[in-house]
Amino acid sequence: MVKKQRKVIFLDRDGVINKDPESINKYSYVTRWSEFKFLPGAKRAIKKLTDAGYVIYIISNQAGIAKGYFTLKALAGITRNMLREIKSAGGRIAGVFYCPHRNEDNCSCRKPKVGLFEKALKKGDIDFRDSFFIGDKIIDVQAGRAIGCRTVLVLCGKESAGNKKNWKLKPDHVGRDLADAVDWILRKRGKR
């Protein structure tokens, strides 16, 4: 019997948990652990979600693999270190799912498509209507909406509030960063 997961949060990685890698190297990808820099308050925000009973999944496009900038083995090492740091700060991540493809590969897992969410569904019965997806790009909002999640766009990564008039979809909430998004979700849940 598959366990029903009522309180689920999906997080994008780059620009939400860690500093957007655009300024780190010529590739604009985190290619090694030394380039991974947690954003201020991110680990504490994940701990708050964990303490509140949320099941947390990370879903992230990582086309740098298909482009040959880094390997699956390097990504696995980065992920292992990230999860260790999150765990030592009191947070818990239930699963991490990556799309290693480029746009032109036309795969089903590259956001804004929903394949990564479907992979998470194999770990538990998820009510997407009662779940949230926090990301830093409009494609994250598109992906979250496509699967039926409520969406939060954070402005500490790729997107800026100044571009709001060009957003094809509006998120349910716009937050400064992950900590702000988590506080909004916990307040919203507390009012139910």
Active site positions, annotated: 12, 14
Please report, as a single letter, which amino acid is at residue 178.
L
Cβ-Cβ contacts under 8 Å for 8 (sequence gap 6 or more): 54, 55, 56, 57, 120, 126, 127, 128, 130, 131, 132
Instruction: Give the CA angle between residues 32, 36, 38 to the nearest 5°.
Output: 165
Is-contact 186 167, C-beta < 8 A? Answer: no
